[in-house]
Structure 1
């Protein structure tokens, strides 16, 4: 794919620090560790701070808090609920103590002092399901991450508060939750199990895996969560396996790269891209410059999708039409093409039979490039070249496989194309024989200097004879 260098840098900015303008993204991030009535947890505030920073980098407005009391959590939740109304993506992250009482999950503020089920239900703890419904209910995409499966510090007291006629079911971890439409819920570990807090002063295994994977460039969130589970299981020697439930509709990217945007736009031409794509902006101009000479309709369509009212839309449409016309023309315009080219399937075996050496492979790549199918003439058929061959086959009506057979190769050679001259290879440097010697290996005196022979003496010229003798003597 043509490298959209400047567009990539511009768009990466716009999906990072300024991405809140692209689509409305709001996150609630809280880590509670300084509990007043039970042993403190050292890492949740560190987890929350790292998560908040990571989410801001991909365009979230973050309502953040650490070591919050019941009133403090309520205040943050009310703010989150107001800002998350109509959000494209609403994200909820909590690290700290959580409990499950009669299969209902609760989050614990730092001032919680639970002695009975009544304390839980009358407001000393935060009901998870009610909270999510009230704060994130109308967001298009809802992502929930609960690193709150630590061992319940109030379990014994709550259990003992039950009466003879009514027992209280208190589990070690959190209870299973089902996600509604457009929602992903992820727990640090399986329902009813406890999760590790990690080494003091660092991140928990679950949060560390989230930070590594969910905002990786081009990562789709459900695929990222598969990597999160694998990372946590590996790091804890299979002692902890994150659990989740998802009911998302479509792919969700927290940090889409340009290639991902092009692929999504090509696959779903009617998709609405982020509103940050403002027509007439510097970003639009650089995006257009990077793809205006492209021979790939999907790149031009990506521009049109991002800038439906863009100033270069007519040019993009005209270029797409020209490419489509050129792609179909060779079927009838190229003389001498064997009809078998349109029916015979090519494979690695058929290509091997052609006997393409590196020079012939480079010639194929140069011809494809000259026909508008961008590829580098390296003499190696890598994945990129295979994709180009597939596009050439599709444009010509040949069976698509990414490999050549003899008739397709012959058809390619028959297509009229102007090949760019390859630069002449640089001349090889002349290697001169050098004699290395060290200070320890000095040559013998005879090799250091060879005496010049005395000039021939002309008897008729005594002066020259004397000079020759003297000269020969001095040279010795």
Structure 2
């Protein structure tokens, strides 16, 4: 299979050339939870970040936002609408509050303050049908995922101020009909309410989307069948996603790789084997790794109880709870900031000029940090894999090759954690060791590298309420 190495994001993702070049892919991904006038929703921002990462991994240009006011949502929609013109695939994902009034669905910005039906029609909420028509209508394939089927937080006010009691204000969203080339999916059935995530986790619907829609070689309608089954199972049959489809032909967000005897891979180039799920975990970790809030770090542990970065999360929580000490420091303290962005490849590694002995030093250092590899002096596939895992764990571009900055960071790294007694240590917990390596005590984790490690002149005059 032929792969194109591209710096698609800060993560230095590797994606299939067949996906990256085949079509124009655009996505709108927004999660609103920090509402100012009603109870906040804790997890839509997490859902949006996870979905944005997954879609970027398969070649989407993502217009992303979290906790957006009306004006900011308008700006994002304008950007999305412009980019979606002529797109082969356009995706619209929204997590947050949505409401249904007289059969029409609306999304709620975080500054929404709705007291009556008139507030909705004059622009306090965003009409979904009109928004989709004016931003995505020119795309060949349109996929709409709405994780917005929650209780209407303004229902009582709207009903009490209605001029007539015939006004229909329902929980969840009203049924929608898809046009040609469109798939619409709700987190649950029309008029029903869906579950939010618990304790900083993705909602059941978003979690199922992440797990299924970009699986290699899985057609989108097959993926949605799996989504429904997963949500139904996770919620003990308490929630069943609903959809309406008018797709023409098969749609694959991540086509199966096509092997051809004539195709070749670039020499010494590691294959792009990272799954969408592992990239989501990496993006999650990067978003909270320097947080000063234990609850955000605990949210990572809740989402990924056996995650790649569990020891680091535990160490960071211990640091916040106990205060800094000589045995509790950040992994990348003192690292040149350029290390986090400068790409490494075969050329940059060759420029370091490592001899066989120095390569053994690199391998021994990786092993001492928990990324076990044989010190052979040869950078074979196993070594490339461990370098990749070390890079991912530290937030450096993940390539499997070193540059001079990463080489220096690796050899001078101090990894610390809380001291664990022999009684409470386990395979999943950080264990304290120390070695002398030319510069004083060195502290490291056991097992830190295992496992898998995101129109317009009068368009907006109609977006906000008029039908």
Task: Calculate the TM-score normalised by the size of structure 1.
Answer: 0.52
Query: Does the 8 Å contact 2:27/2:90 carry over to 1?
Result: yes
* Number of residues of Structure 1 aligned to a counterpart in Structure 2: 261
CA contact (8 A) 1:29 1:94 kept: yes
Q: Which has the larger Rg? A: 1
CA distance in structure 1 between the partners assigned to 2:156 and 2:103 by the alignment: 16
Cα deviation, 1:235-279, whole Å, max 9, x if unaligned, reads 0000000000000001100011125x99xxxxxxxxxxxxxxxxx
Q: CA deviation at 1:162?
A: 1.2
Q: For residues 223 and 100 of structure 1, do their structure 2 counterparts lie closer, same or farther at Cα, with a shift above 3 Å needed?
A: same
Unaligned runs of 5+ in 1: 1-6, 263-282, 289-476
CA distance in 1, matches of 2:220, 2:5: 20
Give the whole-Å Cα distance in 2 for the aligned partners of 1:89 and 1:134.
15
Give the aligned partner of residue 264 of structure 2.
286
Quote the residue 1:241 is aligned against. 240
Bigger helix fraction: 1
Distance 1:79 1:17, change over 3 A: farther
Tell me the equivalent position of 1:133. 133
2:412 maps to: none
Q: What runs of 5+ residues in structure 2 fail to find an aligned partner?
A: 7-12, 267-467
Contact 2:2 2:263 in 1 (8 A): no
Q: In the aligned structure 2, how far is the partner of 1:284 from the partner of 1:158?
A: 65
Query: What is the CA deviation profile of residues 370-390 of structure 1, one whole-angstrom value per residue up to 9, with x for unaligned ones?
Result: xxxxxxxxxxxxxxxxxxxxx
Compute the displacement of 1:136 (Å).
Answer: 0.2
1:156 is displaced (CA, Å) by: 0.6
SS in structure 2 of the partner of residue 258 of structure 1: coil
Shift of 1:16: 4.5
> Which one has more relative contact order, counting CA pairs under 8 Å at least 6 apart?
2
Q: Find out whether 1:230 has 2:229 as its counterpart.
A: yes
Alignment of 1:4-15 (within 5 A): 7=1
Q: 1:161 deviation in Å? A: 1.2
Correspondence list, 1:129-208, <5 A: 129-164=129-164, 167-208=166-207
Q: Contact (CA 8 Å) 2:52, 2:62: kept in 1 or not?
A: yes
Distance (Å, rounded) in 1 between the aligned partners of 2:24 and 2:246: 20
**C-alpha displacement at 1:21, in angstroms?**
3.2
Structure 1 249/168 Cα, relative in aligned 2: closer, same or farther at 3 Å? same
1:426-451: per-residue Cα shift (whole Å, max 9, x none)? xxxxxxxxxxxxxxxxxxxxxxxxxx
Measure how far apart 1:17 and its partner are.
8.1
Contact in 1 for aligned 2:4/2:17 (Cα 8 Å):
no
Moved beyond 3 Å, runs of 4+: 8-21
Equivalent residues of 1:183, 1:248 under 8 A apart: yes
Write the mapping of 1:363-378 to structure 2, written as runs, cut at 5 A.
none
Aligned equivalents of 2:70 and 2:20: distance in 1? 29
- Residues of 2 paired with 1:41 and 1:88: CA distance? 33
Q: Distance in 2 between matches of 1:59 and 1:39?
A: 35
Distance in 2 (alpha carbons) for counterparts of 1:197 and 1:117: 26
Q: Which residue of 1 aligns with 2:87?
A: 87
* Aligned Cα root-mean-square deviation (Å): 2.4
